A = this chain, B = another copy of it.
């Protein structure tokens, strides 16, 4: 199984029964039982909330199919993700087109196939949706400050309450249902991060009610974390904090739907990337620490190491012996393909070329970011371990 032979395989197509040891690294092993467990925990933590899985986190058909069979709905970012879900038999009414930046013809396509929920954060995007959608729900996304999140939140998305208010009125005039949404930033480590945006949502909701209109749904967005190097609270802690904020800021008058869009939280901890050390060397220009080059890097799966934002837990077959500081780098000829240089990892002094290294909680935002074949390295392959009794081939929900 060489890299070249894999070049044209989609990230969702590999389902291998070969013994693991016989498989060339790097690969991502997804344990579907952990996905199922995270879903159970989240449902218990937020019992009255509709779960929309953010397909972008890991679009493998094995995962989307399994979640569909579990009654999960889906947040989609593009026509490509809509088609992926429909192709698996997911009903269009289970989809929410959450990207606030859409071509008008893609909105029209989504409406034509039956999608009824769209998110906007600007007047121009609202115009597109109004032109395409005869009836359905338009979510208006509020900006947040993203404080407490590990993956940066830019000014790219969201509008301020004053503009949201204008958009709410326009949607209502067009006869559409109005929802409100926000995103507290990905890998949000502060369960209190939902309070401030929910306060804004509550305020807009009451003002809207005073005009005789109703906010029919509130989408709590993404942000729920995976377990990387820094500790994070468990699902139920987030659930309690969010439920409190909902009760306090939306109040007993709110009888609309609550939704949440976990991506990373459902699949991150379920994935392990198995890699091989390609080279360990000192660098004369960087004394006192070793450079460890892996066969996985920035461009074949670890894009979220950008700015060293997401810090994966790492284990090696030499663990237990003395350790020392390392810089971790990927296998390509690109100088930007350095994973961790500032946040110093400590790895065993005995580590050498050929050793196996595992990166944990890599189930989200890895394979889907993988380049098509940068430097001739194949995209990251995914293998799947199914829960007992659920190893049926991917297909329509049953």
Q: Could you say which residues of chain B place their CB within 8 Å of the CB of A205? A: none
| Stretch in A45-53, A77-85, A210-218 with 4+ CB within 8 Å of B | A77-85
Q: Is A94 an interface residue (CB 8 A)?
A: no
Q: Is the CB of B295 within 8 A of A103?
A: yes
Within the assembled complex, what's the spacing in Å between the Cα atoms of A126 and B2? 24
Binary CB contact string for chain A from 320 to 344 against chain B (1 if under 8 A, 0 otherwise): 0000000101011111111001000
Residues of B close to A333: CB separation below 8 A: 56, 77, 98-99, 157
In the complex, the answer to whether A279 meets B373 with C-beta atoms within 8 Å is no
Give the Cβ gap from A34 to chain B, nearest Cβ, in Å: 23
| Distance A279 CA – B121 CA, assembled complex (angstroms) | 11
What is the CA–CA distance of A162 and B283 in the complex, to the nearest angstrom?
12
Given contacts A151-B335, A374-B56, contact A353 B78 (CB under 8 A): no
Query: Is B83 within 8 A of A2, CB to CB?
Result: yes
Closest-CB distance, A27 to chain B (whole angstroms): 14
Q: How large is the interface on A (under 10, 10 to 19, 20 to 34, 35 or more residues)?
A: 35 or more
Give min CB distance, A398 to chain B, whole Å: 23
Tell me which residues across on chain B come within 8 A of A82, comparing CB atoms: 376
In the complex, chain B residues whose CB is within 8 Å of the CB of A327: 155
Partner of A77, one of B121, B354, B376: B376
Known contacts A80-B373, A285-B160, A375-B78; A338/B154 CB under 8 A: yes
Contact of A182 with B by CB under 8 A: no
Q: Is the CB of A56 within 8 A of B375?
A: yes
Within A349-396, the residues touching B (CB, 8 Å) are: 352-354, 367-379
Give the segment of A7-15, A173-181, A194-202, A232-240 that binds chain B. Answer: A7-15
Q: Does A346 contact B (CB under 8 A)?
A: no
A residues 139-176 near B (Cβ < 8 Å) are 143, 146, 151-160, 162-163
Contact B375 A372 (CB under 8 A): no
The verdict on A55 contacting chain B, using a C-beta distance below 8 Å, is yes
Chain B residues closer than 8 Å to A318, beta-carbon distance: none
Residues of the B chain whose Cβ atoms lie less than 8 Å from the Cβ of A17 = none
With a cutoff of 8 Å between Cβ atoms, the chain B residues found around residue A59 in the complex are 373, 376
Q: Determine whether the beta carbon of B80 is less than 8 Å from that of A3.
A: yes
Contact A335 B157 (CB under 8 A): yes
Chain B: which residue is nearest A352 at the CB level? B124
B371 A368 Cβ-Cβ under 8 A: yes
Bound Cα distance from A352 to B295, whole angstroms: 43
Given A80-B375, A104-B354, 5 new contacts (CB under 8 A): A56-B332, A56-B376, A77-B375, A99-B375, A156-B291
Considering the complex of A and B, which 5 residue pairs feature the smallest CB-CB distances, nearest first?
A: A80-B376, A81-B376, A122-B281, A78-B376, A160-B284
Would you give 18 A-B contacts (Cβ < 8 Å), ordered by A? A3-B80, A4-B84, A56-B375, A77-B375, A99-B332, A99-B375, A101-B278, A101-B279, A104-B354, A122-B281, A125-B279, A143-B284, A157-B335, A159-B284, A185-B335, A368-B373, A368-B374, A371-B372
